[in-house]
Amino acid sequence: MLQTQKSLKSRFRAIWTSILLTAPPQFSTRLESLIESVVDDSISSLELTDKLELSIVAIAIGAYWHQDLQEVRSRVLALQSRSAADIEELVLAYAIAYGCRQEFQPQLFINQVCHDFSKRRALSRDLESQTRCLDRLQLAQKLVDEGASTIAAHQLDPKLDDRLSDAIASSLYYLLSTPHSWSLITNRAQKHNLRIAIQSGAMAAAYLGEVGEPINLDAKNYEIVKTGALLGDKLWAIWAGVYDSNCSR
């Protein structure tokens, strides 16, 4: 399926809209503060409460610094030094960056990441974690290539350690097995857990540049879409140099 060209602003809008449509109610204020911490390089002052917030910060890093993968890498590695972040967050940030660059190719992404990361030895807290993550990514690709169902992908023999136990591997499985539809990706992933749904949805939004029309565009969802668009517009304006983030304070 040919992808319609989407602007960077559209991709920024789609990413934050995706997160807000998937996250718990009243998450927009916290989301904005997490985005601002990335823009202002003030992540060190944040108190990240859980892995979901780590994912949000990684997504923001990938989006805001998408033009320079070295900057993406250095900022996620810095995040590792002061939080529970690890190589999974780096893979997530890379996927977002590739999507914003319009270079995300579903059939090639995992092989690209594994080829790049396997040549580096300081992307995780230890080499064992890095190797394990890359192995899980390759397993996700194998399952996608085989057309494996969600049940098969997550209920394989635990004695063989061949399940998609890593959040990023599961998130990519949902994205790569149905890359054409944000709604289908997130609906499937939500049955797994919230973090995986948010990660897969954000990656899909960066890739597709849209979330499509929500199934139920009621007043609540309309406000969510509006807020996501405003956050995307603001981040794009800061990125483009036409908005001073300090002026809003």
Task: Spell out the per-residue pLDDT of the chain, length 249, in tens.
Answer: 445 678 999 999 999 999 999 999 889 899 999 999 999 999 888 888 899 999 999 999 999 999 999 999 999 999 998 898 999 999 999 999 999 999 999 999 999 999 999 888 789 888 888 999 999 999 999 999 999 888 777 665 554 455 566 789 999 999 999 999 999 999 999 988 999 999 999 999 999 999 986 556 677 788 899 999 999 999 999 999 876 655 444
For residue 203, the tally of other CB atoms under 10 A from its CB is: 33
CA–CA separation, 24 and 53 (whole Å): 12
Classify residue 63 by burial, with Cβ atoms within 10 Å: 0-12, 13-18, 19+. buried
What total number of domains does the chain contain? 1
171 lies in some domain? no
139 lies in some domain? no
243 lies in some domain? yes
Judge contact between 98 and 15, C-beta under 8 A.
Answer: no
Q: What is the pLDDT of residue 58?
A: 97
102: Cα separation from own chain's centroid:
15
81 lies in some domain? yes
43 lies in some domain? yes
138 lies in some domain? no
Fill in the DSSP letter of residue 216: -
172 lies in some domain? no
Domain region containing 195 = 8-124+179-248
CA–CA separation, 15 and 11 (whole Å): 6
233 lies in some domain? yes
